[in-house]
Amino acid sequence: MKNKFLKISVWVISFLVILLIVISTYSYYLTADTEEFSLSEKTTQNISRIQLQQAIEFASSFMYDQVEPSGRLIYRRKFGDEKFRTSKYNLLRHAGTVYSLYLYDNIYQQASSNSQKRFFKIRKNLISYMKKNYIKPMKNMYGMVSKKSEEGISVTKVKLGGLGLGLVAMAGYAEDSGSVSDQDKKIMNGLAEFILLLQNNDGSFTSAFNWEKKEKDYSTNSLYYPGEASLGLIFLYMFDKNPRWLEAGKKALSYLATTRKDQKKVPFDHWALIATDKLFESGVELSTKEKKLLVEHAIKIVSSVLDKQISRGKRRGAFENNDRPCSLGTYVEGFVATINLIKRSGINARDLGMNESDLDLWILGLKNITQNTVDYLYRVQVKKEDDSSFMLGAIPTVGEWRSLIKAGKQVVSQIDNNQHVISGWIGWDKLVGE
């Protein structure tokens, strides 16, 4: 019997595909036109691949420029005030930024180029700052310890998501460097062991650890931490091939998929989607039943938002009640991961209760929707004609930032806005270039 949810999803996406064909073009990656995209007109025109790659270059350069010599990030920038700084900081976003720059370096930088060497050194500084200021030993483990003064928390704690993204940052750097010190190996293993300390027998996690009392903290519960932790474990497995990390990561993702299977509404958990894609990329052997569980979980997550995309006007590509660039960046990350993981899984459409043409149509619809969101984020990015040199390439916190500035309102760009949009853009560009 066909899965009722998937049948509904296919019908919805089929309708959207027809609508998108009517109102948009398929010229996104067929044109080499480099003419600057209008910020106020032609909102139904798709940008070219060259335009997207230029946007990625500007955004990545902006990100690299936010790294101070110490390795600390300029966490928030304010339009019109180049000297503005804030004491606020977030360890997870620091590590997440390293992940975005890892993606950039791996796709757009040549190993022999001077710029690659410079950017690689900047990534090293980011990791060195993280190790010096946040990574602390405890027995045979290492914690990523958040600071109360920076994050506005009442107790010093280790966050599960910080462990995962810290591991992603270090394992990705170790992969690229070709060599790793014994101390860094010890730290990576220690971070993974801390994640396992917080994992329960059923695959779920306790989200935090009270560093002061040295005990699990049950007061914190984050949607994204399990996916971040899983991604970190799988990253480390792909570096050192220790099956313990892979099994723990797989167990966590299976738990998420199982517990959400019968839920009518599921949250948009992009980190779980990225981790699931990484799991399939790892080459792990999974049964058809296991593949089906994970793929259906991904389809259910993305289908929860697809029919809410705005198809016309200046907000074309955004979503009803959601035009926040940071959030839309996570949508693109999740959409791309889902398209990739379906392909990597090698699952037969019939195992999903679908025929091949239905699945192909669903993926086509998802690609069109992803393209529209990519376009929207391109229009949001700070361009040369915005006359804000130190913000060139940045992604502001709100989509309608230009009108706010004209009205004399304060506008900022925060590091996570840029992190997620860059990661989504890079994933999309790589996908369509294959």
pLDDT in tens, the chain (434 residues): 445 555 555 555 555 544 444 344 333 333 333 233 333 334 456 899 999 999 999 999 999 999 999 999 999 999 999 999 999 999 999 999 999 999 998 887 654 466 667 788 899 999 999 999 999 999 999 999 999 999 999 999 999 999 999 999 999 999 988 889 999 999 999 999 999 999 999 999 999 999 999 999 999 889 999 999 999 999 999 999 999 999 999 999 999 999 999 999 999 999 999 999 999 999 999 999 999 999 999 999 999 999 999 999 999 999 999 999 999 999 999 999 999 999 999 999 999 999 999 999 999 999 999 999 999 999 999 999 998 889 999 999 999 999 999 999 999 999 999 999 999 999 999 999 98
| CB of 211 closer than 8 Å to CB of 156 | yes
- Nearest-CA neighbor of 14 among 354, 316, 262, 313? 354
Output DSSP code: residue 35: P
DSSP string, 358-386: HHHHHHHHHHHHHHHHHHHHHHHS--GGG
Question: pTM to 2 decimals?
Answer: 0.91
76-78 and 135-138 strand pairing:
unpaired
Burial class (CB in 10 A: 0-12, 13-18, 19+), 149: exposed
DSSP 83: T
Tokens of 369: 């929707």
Cα–Cα dist 364/369, whole Å: 9
Token output for 134: 């946040």
The identity of residue 37, as a single letter, is F
Angle at 267 between CA 6 and CA 348, to 5 degrees: 30
Q: Is 426 left (phi over 0), alpha (psi -120 to 50) or beta?
A: alpha
pLDDT of residue 110: 53
Looking up tokens 């019109």, which residue turns up? Answer: 80
pLDDT of residue 45: 66
Contacts of 264 (CB under 8 A, 6+ apart): none
Residue 117 is predicted with a pLDDT of 72
Neighbours of 85 (CB within 10 A): 12
Helix axes 356-380, 325-345, angle to 10 degrees: 150
Separation of CA 229 from chain center: 13
Please give the pLDDT value at position 200.
Answer: 97
Structure letter (DSSP) for residue 40: S
Residue 402 burial (CB count, 10 A): 17
- Cα(305)–Cα(318) distance, rounded to whole angstroms? 11
* The pLDDT of residue 118: 76
From CA 209, how far away is CA 206, in angstroms rounded? 8
